[in-house]
Amino acid sequence: MKYGYGRVSSSGQNLTAQIKQLQEAGCDTIFKEKVSGRKKEDREQFNILLETVQEDDTIVVGKLDRFARSTKDALNTIEYLNNKKVSLIVLNMGGDKIDTGTAIGKLMITVLSGIAEFEADMIRERQLEGIEEAKQRGVYKGRPKKYTKNNKGLQYAIELFQNRATNKLTVKEIEEITKISRATLYRVSKKWGEDV
């Protein structure tokens, strides 16, 4: 059986191109998800795929970074697949079957995983440099604040929160009414200089 695996990092990204590529590669079943690949435990569909595959099955991925986000992760997963006698095809490497059970196949994956991890680190480093440069120029604002003093919903929630003694509402009830979390109520009330 040939299984495909496609993943994008966020819900705003599209899986269509990856799914088409996997279908063209002859995958019988395709596992897909929209989730960051940083932590293996967050990739629910990927973990189901690993449990599903059996001896002589093949996993197909479009790119190595869809399969593993670090060299260590790649090697651990490959070792797991080797033990199950499952093959791996990475399409952006020409669609050749990488025999991860051989020394040369394992070396190729190690090198390519290292390069993919290095590339991801470089992208993060460039992002941080860009943010730092923007801060120095005074144009970086950071993430917009969700709540400001002009937010009527927050004002109402804080008013309810500060008048708990008279309105007889619990913090949980205020949370349910206003949809503003307990942590925000305490933090904002304290920040605005009110006694909590």
- On whether the CB atoms of residues 81 and 105 are closer than 8 A, the answer is no
| Torsion angles phi and psi, residue 97, rounded to 5 | -80, 125
What pLDDT score does 55 carry?
94
- For range 15-38, the mean pLDDT: 88
How is the chain split into domains, by residue range? 2-121, 152-191
Neighbours of 79 (CB within 10 A): 12
Given this model, what pLDDT does residue 52 score? Answer: 95
Q: Which residue has the higher pLDDT, 10 or 176?
A: 176
User: pLDDT, tens digit, for every residue of 46-63?
Assistant: 999 999 999 999 999 988
Superfamily of domain 2-121: Resolvase, N-terminal catalytic domain (3.40.50.1390)
**Banded pLDDT at 99 (limits 50, 70, 90):** low
3-state secondary structure the chain: CEEEEEEECCCCCCCHHHHHHHHHCCCCEEEEEECCCCCHHHCHHHHHHHHHCCCCCEEEECCHHHHCCCHHHHHHHHHHHHHHCCEEEEHHHCCCEECCCCHHHHHHHHHHHHHHHHHHHHHHHHHHHHHHHHHHHCCCCCCCCCCCCCCHHHHHHHHHHHCHHHHCCCHHHHHHHHCCCHHHHHHHHHHCCCCC
- CA 1, distance to chain mean position in Å, is 28
Neighbours of 24 (CB within 10 A): 11
Is it the case that residue 98 has pLDDT exceeding 60?
A: yes
If one counts every other C-beta atom within 10 angstroms of the C-beta of residue 84, the result is 14
Query: Residues with catalytic annotation?
Result: 9
Question: Whole-number mean pLDDT of the chain?
Answer: 82
pLDDT in tens, 108-166: 777 877 777 787 788 889 888 988 888 888 887 777 666 667 788 888 888 898 888 89
Express as a percent the part of the chain with pLDDT over 90: 19
The amino acid present at 23, given as its one-letter code, is Q
Written as six digits, the tokens of 106 are: 């394992």
pLDDT in the model for residue 1: 93
The Cα–Cα gap between 187 and 177 comes to 18
pTM of the model: 0.55
- Which tens digit of pLDDT belongs to each residue from 168-186? 999 999 988 888 888 888 8
State residue 97's pLDDT score.
62
Residue 95 has pLDDT above 60, yes or no: no
- Give the Cα separation of 46 and 43 in Å (integer): 5
